[in-house]
Amino acid sequence: MTHFPGRFAGKKAVVTGAAQGIGECVARRLAAEGAEVALVDRSELVLELAEELGKGGAHGVTADLEQYEGAERAVSEAHRALGGRIDVLVNNVGGTIWARPYEHYTPEQIRAEVQRSLVPTLWTCHAVLPHLIAQRSGTIVNVSSVATRGVNRVPYAAAKGGVNGITSALALEAAPYGIRVVATAPGGTDAPPRRVARGPAAADEQERAWYQQIVDQTVESSLLKRYGKLEEQAAAICFLASDEASYITGSVLPVAGGDQG
C-alpha cells in the first residue's frame, strides 16, 4: 500500500466499523499518515487494533452504533480521547446480512438490514455535528455501496441509498460551517475471512446460489471484471478525507472498477 507520510499530521480522526475489513484498513492508513485515531466498533477486536497502532496515537471505543445512545457515547468518548477535536469522521458501519430475492425477505430481516446499514450513519452524523459546527470545520466520509443497483439485497440497497441521501443533503446544510460531507460507493471487495460474522452463513444450496448471483453480477458490472482490494477502498476514502479533496463535497465516488451503481 502506498502511503503519504504526514498527510494527516495533526489531524484527529474517528473511524467506525474499524475492527476489520475496510474500516481496519482505513484506520491503519490514517495512523500511518500521521492522524491520531479513535477506532469505534461493537467488537472488542477494535481495542486490540488500537493497542497495536500505538498508545497515545490510537484509542479504541466499543459501542453499538445501531442505538443512538451508543453513537452519542462513542462520539463523546472519541472527542474526549482526541483532545476535544474531531477533524474526520469515517462512517463505515454496514454490510449485507442476507442475500436473497426481495420476496424471500421477512419483515424482520428488512428492518435488520436497514438498522445495520443506514441507522449508524444517521446517528453518528447527528452526534458529531455539534462538535464540527462549534469548530467550524471537519469532514464526514460516509461509506455507501454500488449495490444500490444490484441483485438479491434490496433492503441493503435501500439503506445505502439512504446513506447517499444523507451525504448530499447534509453537505448542503453543513457547508456554511466549513464542513464537507462526502462518500465512497465501494463495489465488491476482497477481504480476509471475517473474525466477526455479519450474519448467518448460507443454510442450503438455494441460499448459496442466491449469493453466487451477487458475486456474478458484481464482477460482470465492473469494467475491470474483478473485485477490488481493501487498499483500493481505503485509498479513496483517505483521499476524500484529506485536504487534497477540500473542494469536494456532496459527492459520492464509486470505487468499483467502473460500475457506477
68 catalytically annotated: no
User: Distances from the Cα of 72 to the Cαs of 125, 131, 143, in angstroms?
Assistant: 10, 12, 19
Written as one letter, the residue type at 72 is E
Euclidean distance between CA atoms 103 and 155, whole angstroms: 11
User: Distances from the Cα of 64 to the Cαs of 23, 73, 163, 166, in angstroms?
Assistant: 15, 10, 18, 20
H/E element, 116:
helix 107-117
H/E element, 89:
strand 88-91
> Which one of the listed residues 68, 156, 177, 211 is annotated catalytic?
156
What are the strands of the beta sheet with 88-91, ordered from one edge? Answer: 58-62, 36-41, 12-16, 88-91, 138-143, 179-186, 252-255
Catalytic residues, which ones?
156
